[in-house]
């Protein structure tokens, strides 16, 4: 099979392009290549679908675009991944028929500050959600049924896009964690905040923790936790914040935290030092 430009693909020309690729690759940090490249569509290899010359030119263009984005952003993707189609069938029809909108008033009213026509749509068994933009951040809110033992409760989970280099987890501290700390086996991240560190087990990496858990954001997360518990997962370019309450106040704080996280640059250097 012939490719455009193959006639010009001399060994010397290809070697020069390989040197240029290596030079450009070196301008980006290991964190970029490990966590960000795939999300920003910067390939790590030449495309096997293209000829040798065209594949190199394509890769050079992609790396140059990655370098420019690492300088100026946007660091987070502008849109969330598409949702799967909602469930169908008899159970779905029954759940939709039994929909009691007042249960979701807190979530609905908080989201309508930003999207006046927001309504929670049926997504599957025990799950309703709404998607909109809040201060420029794409945000998805889901109210879902969380079961534990013989009990169940409605919880709120908010999701937005963030820079893919970020890694962070928050979950409530437990007795076992306290014991591990006493025995010296804990790898928990400590921020030196006596009001926050004892409440949450912080995992991920410290640069992300310090960049994403500034004073105002820690206070907002603590307020969510005090109302009914909070959990956070940030990885793969997505941030998820779960609240045990679906009140207007909790929803408003979830939206504020997620919108702030979406706007943050990378907590790790993406460009190598010159």
Q: How many residues does the chain have?
A: 274
pLDDT more than 70, % of the chain = 85
Model confidence at 96, in pLDDT bands (50, 70, 90)? low
Please determine, for residue 258, whether its predicted confidence score (pLDDT) is greater than 70: yes
Residue 8: per-residue pLDDT: 60
Cis omega before residue 231 (within 30°)?
Answer: no
Closest of 56, 37, 60 to residue 46, by C-alpha: 56
Distance CA 241, CA 30 (A): 28
Residue 3: per-residue pLDDT: 42
Residues 57-95 have pLDDT tens digits of: 999 999 999 999 999 999 999 999 998 877 666 555 555
CA angle 74, 77, 79 (to 5 degrees): 130
Q: Between the CA of residue 235 and those of 17, 162, 208, 264, what are the distances in Å?
A: 34, 9, 11, 14
The residue-averaged pLDDT of 10-26 equals 95
Q: Which DSSP state fits 123?
A: E
Distance CA 115, CA 119 (A): 9
Residue 1: per-residue pLDDT: 36
Q: Taking the model in full, what pTM does it have? A: 0.88
pLDDT more than 90, % of the chain = 68
**Which of 179 and 248 is assigned the larger pLDDT?**
248
Residue 84: per-residue pLDDT: 80
The residue-averaged pLDDT of 219-230 equals 95
Pairing status of strand 238-243 against strand 127-134: unpaired
* Longest CA–CA separation in the chain, Å: 71
Per the CB < 8 A criterion, the answer to whether 247 and 227 are in contact is yes
What is the average pLDDT value for the chain, to the nearest integer? 88
Residue 125: per-residue pLDDT: 74
């Amino acid at each position: 099979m012939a490719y455009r430009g193959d006639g010009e693909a001399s060994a010397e020309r290809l070697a020069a392009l390989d040197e240029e690729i290596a030079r450009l690759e070196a301008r980006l940090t290991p964190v970029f290549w490990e966590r960000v490249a795939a999300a920003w569509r910067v390939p790590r290899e030449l495309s096997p679908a293209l000829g040798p010359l065209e594949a190199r030119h394509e890769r050079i263009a992609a790396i140059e675009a990655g370098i420019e984005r690492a300088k100026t952003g946007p660091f987070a993707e502008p849109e969330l991944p598409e949702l799967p189609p909602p469930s169908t069938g008899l159970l779905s029809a029954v759940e939709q028929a039994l929909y009691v909108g007042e249960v979701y008033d807190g979530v609905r009213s908080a989201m309508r500050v930003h999207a006046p026509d927001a309504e929670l749509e049926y997504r599957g068994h025990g799950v309703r959600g709404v998607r909109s933009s809040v201060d420029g951040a794409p945000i998805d809110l889901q109210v879902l049924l969380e079961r534990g033992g013989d009990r169940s409760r409605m919880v709120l989970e908010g999701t937005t896009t963030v820079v893919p280099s970020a890694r962070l987890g928050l979950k409530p501290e437990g007795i076992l964690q306290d014991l591990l700390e006493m025995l010296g086996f804990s790898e928990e991240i400590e921020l030196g905040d006596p009001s926050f560190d004892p409440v949450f087990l912080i995992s991920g990496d410290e640069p992300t923790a310090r960049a994403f858990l500034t004073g105002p954001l820690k206070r907002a997360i603590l307020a969510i936790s005090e109302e009914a518990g909070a959990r956070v997962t940030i990885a793969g370019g997505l941030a998820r914040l779960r609240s045990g309450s679906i009140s207007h106040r909790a929803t408003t704080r979830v939206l504020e935290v997620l919108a702030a996280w979406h706007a943050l640059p990378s907590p790790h250097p993406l460009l190598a030092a010159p």
